[in-house]
C-alpha cells in the first residue's frame, strides 16, 4: 500500500464485471438486492468522494459503455487506504466473495486505479482508457492496481516528465 497522498490528489478506480446472465435474470437477483446497501455503505465510508450514477437511477448498472453484458463501477476516494478499507474491510467483502455466482472470471485486468487532481470527476471514457493502458502496458504511475500501486507523487512526476517531453 502507498502512503497517504497530498491533499491535492484523489484516487480514481474503475472495475468492470461481465455478467454470467442478463441483469434481470433471477440468478442475478441476489446481487441486485445487495446494490443499494453496498452503495449506501460506500457513500458513508470515510474517504469516499464520488461514484458514477446513471441519471435518474441509484447506481450505474444501466450504463454499459464496455459492452452489453459488462457492468462498470467508477468511483473516487481521498486515499488508497480508504478504498482498500471499504473494499476489503467492510460488508463489501462478502459481496466480492460471492462474485463468481454472478460474474465471469476475468482473464485480463478488471480493476484499474489512478491518481487525479482533487475535484476532478473522471469520465467513463477516461476510466476505460486507463484500464486499456493497464492491460496493454502493465502497471505504471498512470494506471495500476492494489498489488502494484504508485503514489500520487509518482503519478505527478510522470505527468511532469511527459509535459517536458522526457
Note whether residue 159 is domain-resident.
Answer: yes
Q: Is there a domain that residue 1 lies in? A: no
Structural domain contains residue 3: no
Q: Report how far residue 126's alpha carbon sits from residue 88's, in angstroms, rounded to the nearest whole number.
A: 25
Residue 93 falls inside a structural domain: yes
Q: How many domains does the chain have?
A: 1
Question: For residue 145, what is the domain's CATH number?
Answer: 3.30.70.100
Alpha helix stretches (DSSP H) within the chain: 29-43, 80-88, 92-97, 124-137, 152-163
Residue 4 lies in a domain: no
Is 155:9 a contact under the CB 8 Å cutoff?
yes
Give this prediction's pTM.
0.88
58: domain range?
A: 9-163
Q: Is residue 2 part of a domain?
A: no
Residue by residue, pLDDT tens for the chain (166 residues) are 555 544 599 999 999 999 999 999 999 999 999 999 999 999 999 999 999 999 999 889 999 999 889 999 999 999 999 999 999 998 898 888 999 999 999 889 999 999 999 999 999 999 999 999 999 999 999 999 999 999 999 988 776 666 666 5
Amino acid at each position: 500500500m502507498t502512503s497517504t497522498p497530498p491533499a491535492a490528489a484523489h484516487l480514481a478506480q474503475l472495475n468492470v464485471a461481465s455478467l454470467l446472465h442478463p441483469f434481470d435474470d433471477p440468478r442475478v437477483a441476489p446481487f441486485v438486492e445487495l446494490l443499494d446497501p453496498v452503495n449506501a455503505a460506500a457513500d458513508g465510508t470515510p474517504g469516499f468522494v464520488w461514484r458514477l450514477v446513471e441519471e435518474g437511477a441509484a447506481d450505474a448498472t444501466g450504463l454499459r459503455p464496455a459492452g452489453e453484458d459488462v457492468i462498470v463501477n467508477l468511483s473516487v476516494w481521498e486515499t488508497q487506504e480508504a478504498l482498500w478499507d471499504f473494499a476489503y474491510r467492510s460488508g463489501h467483502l462478502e459481496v466480492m466473495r460471492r462474485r463468481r455466482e454472478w460474474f465471469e472470471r476475468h482473464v485480463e485486468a478488471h480493476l484499474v486505479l489512478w491518481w487525479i487532481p482533487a475535484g476532478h470527476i473522471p469520465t467513463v471514457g477516461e476510466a476505460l482508457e486507463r484500464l486499456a493502458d493497464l492491460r496493454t502496458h502493465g502497471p505504471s504511475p498512470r494506471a495500476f492496481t492494489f498489488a502494484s500501486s504508485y503514489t500520487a507523487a509518482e503519478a505527478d512526476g510522470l505527468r511532469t516528465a511527459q509535459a517536458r517531453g522526457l
